[in-house]
Structure 1
Amino acid sequence: MGKIIALANQKGGVGKTTTSINLAASLAAMEKRVLVVDADPQANATSGLGFDMSENNIYGVLIGEIAISETVQTSNDIPTLSLVPSNINLVGAEAELLSVEDGQFRLKMAIEEIRNEYDFIFIDCSPSLGLITLNALTAADSVLIPVQCEYFALEGLGKLLNTIKMVKGGLNPNLQIEGFLFTMYDSRLRLANQVVGEVRGHFPELVFSTLIQRNTRLSESPSFGKPALLYDAQSTGAINYLNLAKEFLSKN
């Protein structure tokens, strides 16, 4: 049975989508069967992996118009990597699901249909704590939290941890924290090292050892519709995410 991991943080620009794309691609390159579910209306995971923003997408799944199996696209470059695409219509799903009795469980019910076909399913969440993100946390076994190495990143963690606690208290009692992942790390900056030290001090068991460093090639790769591994396998970003994939597998 596949493990479902939500990548969540209500702060934007912390590396959720970059991590979804590159961790998934790295695991798929290691011959794990991996699915990325793009649950962000911006659809950056969809375009960043080089997939089309199809009419058959996660919005249709959530409002009950289409089965999730009909939306899955498979990578031409990495055959073990697949994606459920998103598009801008997903913005409207928040309002539509509010009036639905099982609105918080739609994503969970959908993913259960195809869960056994994959080793890992990553849900790329939008930078908010709205109903779609709540769906992702309800569907997930664990949450992977990317944390940018800057002061304001710490301010938002409390709110996210409270949301996870709330979800555990009712909608999904088995939800675990997969770990905190430091992104955009620059060892030359004292603040970056302070942030890493502070979070490791609070959550010693939950912080990934792998640090994702600032890297130009990693930033460029989505505009070419490729994970860093396919764009420049020798780049620091590609190597960081391969190391993260190894660490992730050792924990799972």
Structure 2
Amino acid sequence: TSWQSLVDVSFEFFDPNPNVDYHAIKRLLTQLFQRDAEQLYVHELTELVLSQPTVGTTIKTDGIESDPYALFTVLNMHLHHQNTSIKAIANYLLSVTEAHDPAFHSTLKALFSQSEAHVGLVLCERLINMPVQVVPPMYNMLADEVKWANADGEPYQFTHLVFISRVYHLSEDEESILANSASTRRSRPTEPNSSLKKQKKHRPPDGEQNGAARPADGIYPYHPEDDILLKPALHSMTYPYVAPLPALVQENRARDTFGLDIRGRVVLV
């Protein structure tokens, strides 16, 4: 037998709030950039996100004064090219594409070096237990906000969009371990007094598709909507993070301790 519990949660959509959202948005951006976050000046990036409260969306569950669990916004990289973080992100993207995809690098270099094309940097991140169903409304809201901003003469007329996201890589052995673990959990009876929080601890990233064929490269998106962006993309690339792994993580992986091999992905649309 199995036991299930349903919890109703109301998700509320808000504009970014400079008065209460700073720390939570900074955490989400740090989660997005992983161990490369420090070199990208996440503090300055957070301040920039909060400086345009009419473009962008956060999701909360306990009213406007609570912490956001998700963020979706777009920044004009040309307009803010002197901002410390935007400058660092542009150089970062040029560096990783130069190392792994010269054609992508050439395209970005051309876009960043002239003023006619305005590139929008799309930042989308959420806590892992947030359902994917919250994503379409955020896309619709951002599209409306950009349209209204352009109607008011604000600089949101983009020729290209850059999406930065996270993926993870599973070797065939790691995938077998994960599949066996999931099978064991599904077959094990769940006690009636087990907490929902305890069940959620084992939830895989949103991108894991139960029963789906393994990608040839073993790369899975953290968020399933990220793969949809690959269809209209001019360029896309997965890359290892620049900053080295912490010593403890290196030691664990050397001992074959299971852990996700997290990488970055950049997509140009």
Normalised by the length of structure 1, the TM-score is 0.34
With a CA cutoff of 8 Å and minimum separation of 6, indicate the structure with the bigger relative contact order: 1
Normalised by the length of structure 2, the TM-score is 0.32
